[in-house]
Structure 1
């Protein structure tokens, strides 16, 4: 049974507001957004909602969401709406950073220390990024950019998430849930889509400024077979001057391998299981479209009252 608690940080008063809740949804995204808990409550004079108030969601003693009130409103019908985000909301702040010879987890540790964000277990990501210069970017973009560079150069995928008040980096492959969703298991409906419109490339062009020659060095890799079928879909990127030719060549090959395929997405409606959240992988089996395998949860929304969920997944 899910339980929702609220604490007014100005007075210190704490309340179990589970019985006041008329509607509740918990939403997580794999990249670029904080977890969100949206509530509609019956107004209670004893429960004063204020900005920065702490809201938690637990199930059978397991912490699922620890966040802070960012928006609240009240109507003439004595209903109170509350929107709370976990601490990843603070990663929307912008700043300028220059990193040299650091891993993604080290970059995350430094940023979190600078902004007072609580950190939990950060998986060592291993890959040492030669250089990152980020001018006026969101903290989200900087950290996710470091994780993307790690993926391109190692093939290992990590996700950033808040574990009940502690920011974490986890290995997607090691975060699989022993749960099957699909035919005869939780799913009540689905939409399957395959496209080459959003993030597909069969030609990769990387350029690097060369101070010695005053020109730009260019690397191009492509797949002529998919170009015949799809036309030329180019990914263009400028890389840091500090990268060696071997590093740029490897990066180009990795990008082509990652992007030279259709992007397949699957949306699933089903019965709620609160162990499922964005970033984790689950086993999906839907015979009608020939799907059977591990998928990464890209987005997940749980309706805590109706006990249903909507998932968007990508292929591992």
Structure 2
């Protein structure tokens, strides 16, 4: 493992030998990746030139893979001389609020526009293709705007994308291209797990879409439901608006897509495993637990790597899709 701090003034410090308690976290939706570590009072601290400040660049590699590149956002220290450092990748700058009024733009184009306006570096950005007719976002965070655009694309085109920072470059990738190459399960990395099925979160069997007709002054509603699931679970209703310019055929198609996506139990799994830094949030991973009949692909919602000395573990919050 290697961690370096770049002061942006020509000084680059390899602090790998004086670092302990590393935590590297990634999230699939709406959050920057973070790197936390403790600098111990020895070695490089004896060099009077050594310094670090908020905004300094931090790079984390494992010898083969480029894992994390970000910027120091917080550090704290005490009398024992040790300092705790927290760094975030570029996505942290998307917490800023702004206003955009755009028409006929794809989620990819929205990301490109925001990156240009806010001086962020981009890498590979997959073409999401679907053009959003009206992108009206007033005083919203940049991250919420991008997530809204990607959610809209998912509903319209059933195409799911993962937005993340790939070692200093904003990246957008189709989720089908992000598969972890190994099985996790009994006898393969896993040390513990919990598995749950729920209808308490994002499950709907009765969907109502509405739009306000300015000419008639009336509200039009469109419905779809699964009566068998209502009988089993009770009525779980989703109620939301649609664009005025959508045709009835488009609204009915949207109803079908929503009932297909939402009318099911949410299945989640939490895994404790031996760490592998190639695994991050947004990836598909094959989970196999033979005694419980589990052999399915799950989507990694959250991934936390913890490294202490020679011990490297990871905690995965997974969702079946």
* The one of 115, 120, 129 aligned to 2:118: 115
Q: Distance in 2 between matches of 1:197 and 1:245?
A: 30
Query: What's 1:291 paired with?
Result: 294
Structure 1 length-normalised TM? 0.96
Q: Distance in 2 between matches of 1:116 and 1:207?
A: 39
Give the CA deviation at 1:45: 4.9
Query: What's 1:241 paired with?
Result: 244
* The one of 215, 220, 228 aligned to 2:223: 220
Query: What's 1:315 paired with?
Result: 320
Q: Please tell me whether the aligned partners of residues 41 and 79 of structure 1 are also in contact (alpha carbons under 8 angstroms).
A: yes
SS of residue matched to 1:261: coil
Q: Distance in 1 between matches of 2:10 and 2:250?
A: 54
Give the CA deviation at 1:208: 1.2
SS of residue matched to 2:181: coil
Q: Distance in 2 between matches of 1:245 and 1:98?
A: 26
Query: What's 1:5 paired with?
Result: 4
Q: Distance in 2 between matches of 1:211 and 1:22?
A: 62
Structure 2 length-normalised TM? 0.95
Q: Please tell me whether the aligned partners of residues 5 and 17 of structure 1 are also in contact (alpha carbons under 8 angstroms).
A: yes
Answering whether residue 164 of structure 2 is matched by residue 166 of structure 1, we say: no
Query: What's 1:87 paired with?
Result: 90
Query: What's 1:41 paired with?
Result: 39
Question: Per-residue CA shift, 1:162-214, capped at 9, x if unaligned?
Answer: 01000011011111121110111000000111111111111111111212211
Q: Please tell me whether the aligned partners of residues 6 and 53 of structure 1 are also in contact (alpha carbons under 8 angstroms).
A: yes
Structure 1 portions without partners, runs of 5+: none
SS of residue matched to 1:311: strand
Query: What's 2:71 paired with?
Result: 68
Query: What's 1:256 paired with?
Result: 259
Question: Per-residue CA shift, 1:84-123, capped at 9, x if unaligned?
Answer: 0000001111111122111111111111111111111111
State how 1:102-251 maps to structure 2 within 5 Å: 102-251=105-254
SS of residue matched to 1:292: strand
Q: Please tell me whether the aligned partners of residues 27 and 282 of structure 2 are also in contact (alpha carbons under 8 angstroms).
A: yes
SS of residue matched to 1:15: strand
Q: Distance in 2 between matches of 1:249 and 1:118?
A: 40
Q: Please tell me whether the aligned partners of residues 6 and 56 of structure 2 are also in contact (alpha carbons under 8 angstroms).
A: yes
* The one of 13, 19, 22 aligned to 1:21: 19
SS of residue matched to 1:275: coil
Q: Please tell me whether the aligned partners of residues 205 and 220 of structure 1 are also in contact (alpha carbons under 8 angstroms).
A: yes
RMSD: 1.2
Q: Distance in 1 between matches of 2:292 and 2:225?
A: 30
Moved more, 179-188 or 282-291: 282-291
Query: What's 1:301 paired with?
Result: 304
Q: Distance in 2 between matches of 1:292 and 1:27?
A: 26
Structure 2 portions without partners, runs of 5+: none
Q: Please tell me whether the aligned partners of residues 65 and 278 of structure 2 are also in contact (alpha carbons under 8 angstroms).
A: no
Q: Distance in 2 between matches of 1:14 and 1:180?
A: 38
SS of residue matched to 1:256: helix
SS of residue matched to 2:10: coil
